[in-house]
Amino acid sequence: MISMETTEAGVFLNGEWRPAATDETFDVIDPATGKVTARVANAGERDVDEAVKSAEAAFHDRRWLSMPPLERGRILRNVADLIRKHHMELAHIMTRENGMPLNMALFVEIPMAADCFDFFASLVIQPQGDVLPFSLNGAPPNYMAWTMKEPIGVAGLITPWNFPLLMPTWKVAPALAAGCTMILKPAPETPLTALKLAELCQKAGVPEGVLNVLPGKDEAGKAIVKHPRIPKIAFTGETATGRHILQAAAPYIKRVSLELGGKSPNIIFDDADIEDAAKSALFGVFYNSGQVCQAGSRILVHHSVYDSFVEKLVEKAKKLKVGPGTDMRNDLGPVISKTQHEKILQYIEIGQEEGATLLTGGRVPEGLTDGYFIEPTVFADVTPTMRIACEEIFGPVVSVIPFKDDDEAVQIANETIYGLAAAVWTRDIKRGLNMARRIKSGTLWINTYQVLSPTLPFGGYKQSGIGRELGVQALDSYLETKSVICDLNDRPMTFF
């Protein structure tokens, strides 16, 4: 049983807890202290093979798929209810291994995860397939044709550390709703939350073998991607890793969905409510210490309101409290690891070397040297070609860039390899809607930022990914479409 006191954990395979095949473990580090908080089984290739056998058996004997759809929907809703019931325990586990402030875990991530299971529970009983007209020149008229949706089989789900409950949920819930069985590999930094989710799914009634969770490092992930009997891969993480997954999956022509990086523009026009825009921009970039793929890390501000906006943003950033996530008064917790901490501080140095003006932050807060803490950091006088404006930093660092008119704002916004999200702030709704047409991003907010719903698809253009999470589109990514044609004529059509 996984709890906030758990110090050792195994793999979850075929409904059982067991050590890794090699008996190897790895350390989970509390980013607020830099100390080991748990040791977890390090799954490898042999564990992946066993998990595939378990998931295949569960798929082929239809122990999940043969349940009445209403019953499967009830089980997904049971998972949602259990997430809500165990919200405090989940929050403490997440904060312990991820560093996220408890208030954000309790009021954002956990409710969204529960809502996600509720939404996909509702899709289990929705019509899947259509009766369609049939047309073939010279054929007799009496045919019936329709499409059927069938689960793709065993899905390999690989998730990152920044949202240790929500990211697994975004994959497990639609895969279950589609009737798939699956192997989930959470990030090695945050395995305990995913293992707790597996425990709740089992308690809710998900049969053994349907959901298998393999905590581990690179070997497990590579084995999942390359396994010839896993036809579907869903990955969230860095764009560079997404490229490697596509290459590794290509020999098997696997179905691959990818939710990757971003360098999202948050555009403030001269007619915007500057106070509201500054408040929202703060949440847009510093939420979860900036470790959010759609973080608004490029704030584009019309030159006529640039100085006033920057002044408000800096004033508000200085008031944010940084510290351990266990203190509900803190706004920003630590970043995930020593490696990430060093990378972010290096980018702050690069920004100053490139000529950007550091207005606030950029340092380790006083008295917080044991963990991986960084002050909220604001750069002004940033040009679009600077590295801090082009490369995903994945930390509490924002670049504020001036622009002259709508066309220049669109140009700067779109001059990136990414296209995950964007926002525009304006009182002119026509301007906002026109910008929505012109900006290349999978999500665009008007006069808001960071608000998501399980009913809406989420994903990116360009190198921000392939496919969509959430919405009915996510369900479809775990389904195959079959066309069925029935000849109702007295005699079959023949050419011979």
Interval 236-286: pLDDT, tens:
999 999 999 999 999 999 999 999 999 999 999 999 999 999 999 999 999
Helix axes 87-98, 110-123, angle to 10 degrees: 120
pLDDT at residue 46 is higher than 90: yes
Residues 6+ apart with CB under 8 A from 309: 268, 274, 277, 278, 299, 301, 400
Average pLDDT (119-136) is 92
Locate the domains of the chain by residue range. Answer: 8-260+464-482, 265-446
Q: If pLDDT is split at 50, 70 and 90, which confidence band does 162 have?
A: very high
Over residues 328-349, mean pLDDT: 97
Alpha-carbon gap, residue 262 to 98, rounded angstroms: 20
Max distance between CA atoms of the chain, in angstroms, equals 87
Percent with pLDDT over 70 in the chain: 100
- Residue 424 and residue 427: Cα distance in Å, rounded? 10
Q: What is the CA radius of gyration of the chain?
A: 24
The helix (H) or strand (E) run that includes residue 195 is helix 191-204
Q: What is the pLDDT of residue 128?
A: 84
Q: Tell me how far apart the alpha carbons of residues 118 and 470 are, in angstroms, rounded to a whole number.
A: 12
Q: Which residue has the higher pLDDT, 493 or 7?
A: 7
Here the tokens at position 208 are 């053994």
pLDDT at 178 over 90: yes
Q: DSSP secondary-structure letter at 365?
A: P
When pLDDT is averaged across residues 462-485 and rounded to a whole number, the result is 97
Rounded average pLDDT over 392-398: 98
- At residue 287, the pLDDT reads 97
* Separation CA 13–CA 150 (nearest Å): 25
Mean pLDDT along residues 81-88:
98
Among 50, 97, 109, 259, the one annotated catalytic: 259
Contact 231, 254 (CB under 8 A): yes
State yes or no: pLDDT of 492 exceeds 90: no
CA distance 148 to 62: 17
pLDDT digits (tens, 9 = 90+) for 198-220: 999 999 999 999 999 999 999 99
What's residue 276's pLDDT?
97
* Over residues 429-436, mean pLDDT: 98
Beta-carbon count within 10 A of 228 CB: 9
Confidence check: pLDDT of 233 > 80: yes
- What pLDDT is stored for residue 241 in this prediction? 97
Q: Is a pLDDT exceeding 90 seen at residue 71?
A: yes
State in words which class domain 265-446 has: alpha beta
Distance between CA atoms of 187 and 355, rounded to whole angstroms? 36
pLDDT at residue 137 greater than cutoff 90: no
* Section 437-456 average pLDDT: 98
- The pLDDT value recorded for residue 93 is 98
Using the predicted structure, report yes or no on whether residue 468 has a pLDDT greater than 80.
yes
- Concerning whether 415 is annotated as a catalytic residue, the answer is no
- How many residues appear in the chain? 496
Class at the top of the CATH hierarchy for domain 8-260+464-482:
alpha beta
Q: What's the pLDDT band for 315 if we cut at 50, 70, 90?
A: very high
Whether the pLDDT of residue 1 is over 90: the answer is no
385, 411 contact by CB (below 8 A): no
